[in-house]
């Protein structure tokens, strides 16, 4: 359960913006929106930061199921809240390399069956408590709790959480059930936040740059600057994270200055927003919006059908039309920044004749399927589904696009749709496998569990020689490329927008709006 904050003024503001529909966009397009001028354009955010003010950020999606639990985020606003209230032991830098955050260092034993973690000293929680080894142990056990496994539980399956040992106040021995070479990368995921040993999600306490003030699921959450933050404190006094399941409402809120920044700017609105004096930030992450096929449900339980569906996609057309050129084509593999990414596999291209042949051989000539999508997944999800349906006609396949709202898509049927879409943030390969591509993964939406694939993944987990490990992972990727349930047609640029008075935004390879690092943002007016 989450705690519902009191914020009637915020709710009224949201209702007003939503009720406005496309009116503001039409006015802005005519050049009549008052108070906005300038040529726009990209902005690195390089300026002398001003201290103080309120930063209001509009995030994609949201519903009554929103959460403050950092170990179980699902949608964009959940991640935004988690990153600003809590921190992990490790994070990824601007080149997507792992670096310590709350950790000072971590070293493996000679046999690779244990790691010794040393914490950074002097880190304070929002309630004044000093971070120590007990908090790390409690956090890992909370995530891996078999009675209520969190999103990162599958990643911690290799850890013997029952035997975690406090060496001293800043040192933890992390025993493993089997050697694991990339533990730091697993612990750098956003779902691996460190919380106090007595954590209560109704009164969330973390070490992050902002302190919880109020939370209204599906509407708005409010946080204040943590002045005792162990790094430089945030520039702004308050942070408001506001849910916007509707793209038009989110853009209208920016144009009318109801919010200062927004993630997932609709690509067709880039020039409009710039013309009104707002700024656009373009990043090139490894985020992906796949089509997902359940391998345990007909017709996708036949490998030939899955191969045919991947051959239907015209990937360059997807990038041109859905992403308006803001992205790059994919090859049915994720984790493009991973050193083990398999560049040797041939780029898959559209081949409608072969797709027809495979479907006929599988007994599914004239296939008719439903594809479930939602605007709440992110920019381009509905357009992707619609364009795929058009492309599929060339192979004699009828695709019925079912557009749902965010609450429905991520509701009780999430992860059980036979054919659907989804959105994933940037991860390295093994970390992504632990989240979505292996039995027991919390988000195994394709219900994938190929034995040969699993064997290779298990070998790679314990291989400390990077070269040998990369070869194992490339072999695993080849299997998923040929037999898996994902259609990874491309990687979209992350396009965000913000008012000219907001500084501190920089491109990032991971999450939008500079990894939601609102500590670095400043507001001039």
Task: Tell me the pLDDT of the chain (525 aa) as tens digits.
Answer: 223 333 333 333 333 333 234 455 644 444 433 333 333 334 444 567 889 999 999 999 898 999 999 999 988 899 999 999 999 999 998 888 999 999 999 999 999 999 999 999 999 999 999 999 999 999 999 999 999 999 999 889 999 999 999 999 999 999 999 999 999 999 999 999 999 999 999 999 999 999 999 999 999 999 999 999 999 999 999 999 999 988 899 999 999 999 999 999 999 999 999 999 999 999 999 999 999 999 999 999 999 999 999 999 999 999 999 999 999 999 999 999 999 999 999 999 999 999 999 999 999 999 999 999 998 887 789 999 999 999 999 999 999 999 999 889 989 999 999 999 999 989 999 989 988 999 888 899 999 999 999 999 999 999 999 999 999 999 999 999 999 999 999 999 999 999 999 999 988 887 667 778 899 999 986
Comparing C-alpha atoms, which of 449, 457, 477, 450 is closest to residue 332? 477
Separation between Cα atoms, residue 109 and residue 105, nearest integer Å: 13
pLDDT at 25: 61
Tell me if residue 405 falls in helix, strand or coil: coil
**For 224, what's the count of Cα atoms within 13 Å in the CB-facing half-sphere?**
5
Q: Which helix (H) or strand (E) holds 97?
A: none
Helix (H) or strand (E) holding 371: strand 368-374
Cβ neighbours for 26, distance < 8 A, ≥ 6 positions apart: none
- Structural domains of the chain ordered from first start: 47-86+208-275+498-523 (3.40.190.10), 90-192 (3.90.76.10), 291-492 (3.10.105.10)
Q: Judge whether 164 and 141 are in contact, CB under 8 Å.
A: yes
pLDDT of residue 19: 29
Asked if omega into 387 is within 30° of 0 (cis), the reply is no
DSSP letters for 326-347: -EEE--S---TTSTT--TTSPP
How much is the pLDDT for 512? 65
CA distance 394 to 458: 40
**Residue 433 tokens, joined:** 């496998």
* Nearest alpha carbon to residue 214 among 88, 83, 81, 80: 81
pLDDT, position 276: 96
Task: Please report, to the nearest 10 degrees, the dihedral formed by the alpha carbons of residues 432, 134, 131, 185 taken in order.
Answer: -20
Cα–Cα distance for residue pair 472/328, rounded to 1 Å: 26
> Are 502 and 260 a contacting pair, CB within 8 Å?
yes
Does an H or E element contain 9, and which? helix 8-19
Gap between the Cα atoms of 111 and 76, Å rounded: 39
Tokens 């300038």, residue located:
38
Instruction: Compute φ and ψ for 383, nearest 5 degrees.
Output: -65, -35
Question: Which DSSP category does 53 fall into?
Answer: -
**pLDDT score for 177:** 96
Q: Which residues lie across from 491 on neighbouring strands?
A: 288, 328
Closest to 128 measured CA to CA, from 227, 3, 234: 227
Phi, psi of 141 (to 5 degrees): -70, -35
Angle between helices 8-19 and 247-255 (to 10 degrees): 110
- Number of helices (H), then strands (E), belonging to the chain: the values are 16, 22
């Amino acid at each position: 359960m989450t705690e519902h904050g009191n914020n009637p003024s915020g709710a009224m503001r949201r209702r007003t913006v939503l009720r406005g529909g496309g009116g503001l966009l039409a006015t802005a397009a005519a050049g009549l929106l008052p108070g906005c001028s300038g040529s726009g354009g990209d902005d690195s955010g390089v300026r002398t930061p001003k201290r103080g003010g309120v930063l209001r950020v509009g995030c994609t999606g949201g519903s009554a199921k929103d959460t403050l639990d950092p170990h179980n985020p699902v949608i964009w606003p959940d991640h935004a809240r988690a990153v600003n209230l809590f921190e992990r032991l490790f994070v990824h830098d601007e080149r997507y390399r792992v670096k310590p955050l709350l950790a000072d260092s971590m070293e493996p034993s000679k046999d690779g069956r244990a790691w010794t973690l040393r914490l950074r000293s002097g880190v304070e929680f929002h309630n004044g408590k000093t971070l120590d080894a007990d908090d790390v142990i409690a956090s890992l056990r909370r995530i891996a709790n078999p009675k209520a496994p969190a999103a990162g539980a599958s990643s911690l399956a290799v850890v013997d959480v029952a035997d975690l040992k406090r060496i001293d106040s800043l040192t933890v021995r992390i025993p493993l059930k089997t050697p694991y070479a990339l533990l730091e990368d697993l612990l750098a995921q956003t779902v691996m936040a460190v919380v106090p040993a007595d954590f209560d999600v109704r009164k969330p306490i973390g070490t992050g740059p902002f302190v919880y003030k109020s939370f209204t699921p599906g509407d708005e959450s409010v946080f204040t600057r943590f002045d005792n933050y162990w790094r430089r404190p945030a520039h702004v006094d308050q942070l408001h994270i506001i849910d916007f399941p509707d793209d038009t409402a989110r853009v209208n809120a920016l144009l009318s200055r109801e919010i200062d920044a927004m993630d997932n700017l609709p690509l067709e609105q880039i020039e409009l927003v710039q013309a009104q004096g707002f700024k656009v930030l373009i990043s090139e992450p490894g985020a992906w919006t796949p089509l997902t096929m359940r391998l345990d449900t007909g017709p996708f339980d036949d490998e030939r059908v899955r191969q045919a569906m991947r051959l239907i996609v015209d990937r360059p057309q997807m990038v041109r039309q859905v992403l308006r050129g803001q992205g790059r084509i994919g090859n049915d593999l994720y984790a493009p920044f991973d050193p083990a990414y398999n560049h040797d596999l041939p780029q898959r291209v559209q081949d409608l004749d072969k797709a027809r042949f495979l479907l006929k051989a599988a007994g599914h000539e004239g296939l008719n399927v439903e594809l479930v999508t939602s605007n709440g997944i992110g920019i381009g999800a509905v357009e992707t589904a619609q364009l795929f349906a058009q492309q599929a006609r060339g192979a004699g396949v009828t695709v019925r696009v079912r557009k749902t709202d965010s609450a429905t898509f991520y509701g009780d049927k999430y992860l059980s749709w036979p054919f659907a879409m989804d959105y994933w943030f940037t991860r390295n390969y093994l970390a992504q496998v632990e989240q979505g591509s292996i039995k027991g993964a919390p988000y195994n939406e394709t219900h994938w569990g190929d034995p040969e694939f699993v064997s290779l993944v298990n070998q790679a987990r314990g291989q400390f020689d990077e070269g040998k490990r990369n070869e194992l992972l490339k072999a695993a990727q080849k299997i998923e490329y040929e037999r898996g349930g994902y259609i990874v047609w491309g990687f979209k640029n992350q396009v965000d927008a913000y008012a000219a008075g907001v500084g501190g935004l920089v491109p990032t390879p991971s999450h939008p709006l500079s990894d939601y690092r609102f500590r670095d943002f400043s507001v001039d007016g």
